[in-house]
Structure 1
């Protein structure tokens, strides 16, 4: 049986249900093992679609915005699960499930999935690891940004504790590490495809700005460890830069017809 995008909903809904059940058990003192197993089972169901869809397309499902959202939906519960296993925050699986569900329903309503063909540059072996590593990085940085935004908005009512900042730090440090690896993979891909590691293409320029934005956060946390509110603002600002890098650059005048990295519907 050939799996097409029309089958996505039959994998996505069971995955959401399993993740939601995992999140429910995370709040029960004796439910840690069921929550982990249910979340993993949901991930396996979701990845089964990705693998089958990959085979059907005869290429990695990484080319269009809809396809990158597919990976983002997959990596968000992974980020939540890792955080839950490591730091045991009972709310993190609910948080990651809600975010993943939002991206899943955006994909159901506006899939932006297109044909099988890949332009020659996208046929590089560096293409898949570059985008997959980036999507995991985006998931971690996105989680850090939303926790930061929550405490910026409601910080007067809820005290920002050191353990919360430790959580945000870990999101950002892991996300930045994978962002750096993704950029290195991208440079190797560019060298193979276009003959140079970096060309200051609009997307590359914004990627560099995003990377430096998160470096500012790392340095600020090291030098001003008790200035929590300012640090949270830097996280949110970095995530805004990331959104421009991910999809906002596609709409900038400087990228129209010039950028080699913009997503295409053709």
Structure 2
């Protein structure tokens, strides 16, 4: 399995995800979940194939992390739809996954077996994978917040809608916390210290605190929904700085060991 096979697996997966989204809008829940799951299986088969071919987890470059985000977005959409029956969530998660798939198709990156010594730690893969799943959950929460801000203007937000948003944030924050702990163990093994306030680590701490503030704000001021949703959108913007924005900051150039290899 190599990168040239990606277009085949990607097209099959995207067609299945679109079919799942259409089935959801037609109230065919069982078919929607089954077809979406089939697309996830096909896409994950490519990830596993790349893992075997590269003889390492496909997590070194930004393009490789986009593979995981493309996988986790429909997965989270599927979980949310199966639990809360929001039809639009599968459509949106599919649309966002297609965006990441297209970026990888039109801007392919070099995927070779080279893995720097620091990335050969057993903590590397679980750290990044758990973080990618957290990003997908928090991305869904941000989408929900934007939806409630834009389309619920002047209308009463239901308890189910706020519960969905809060549950996504709490789950995402929990996975982010686990991911940070894995990252600390990885850093200790690779560089001899758990935390060094590297630019990437600094933004990770900022984004973690932002979501923690949101959780406590919701507990302290449950009726101030608009402020909470704005806070959630801002938190997601900070999370993007932690994920890929750090690569373009002058402070990280040549100074951060966490910036992704874009070659």
Whether the aligned pair in 2 keeps the contact of 1:72 and 1:100 (CA below 8 Å) is yes
Q: TM-score, normalised by structure 1?
A: 0.95
Other-structure match for 1:62:
59
Change (3 A) 1:4 1:261: same
CA distance in 1, matches of 2:177, 2:110: 28
Look up the SS of the partner of 1:91 in the other structure: helix
Please, which runs of 5 or more residues in structure 2 have no aligned partner?
A: none
For residues 205-216 of structure 1, what are the structure 2 equivalents within 5 Å? 205-216=202-213
Shift of 1:157: 5.7
Q: Does 1:141 align with 2:138?
A: yes
CA distance in 1, matches of 2:86, 2:247: 37
CA distance in 2, matches of 1:228, 1:161: 11
Aligned residues: 263
Other-structure match for 1:46:
43
Look up the SS of the partner of 1:156 in the other structure: coil
Q: TM-score, normalised by structure 2?
A: 0.96
Q: Deviations over 1:212-242 (max 9, x none)?
A: 0000100000011111100001111111110
Q: Does 1:81 align with 2:78?
A: yes
Match of 1:171 among 154, 163, 168: 168
Q: What do you get for the CA RMSD once the two structures are aligned?
A: 1.3
Other-structure match for 1:197:
194
Look up the SS of the partner of 1:245 in the other structure: helix
CA distance in 1, matches of 2:156, 2:102: 34
Q: Does 1:121 align with 2:107?
A: no
Match of 1:26 among 24, 27, 45: 24
Whether the aligned pair in 2 keeps the contact of 1:151 and 1:158 (CA below 8 Å) is no
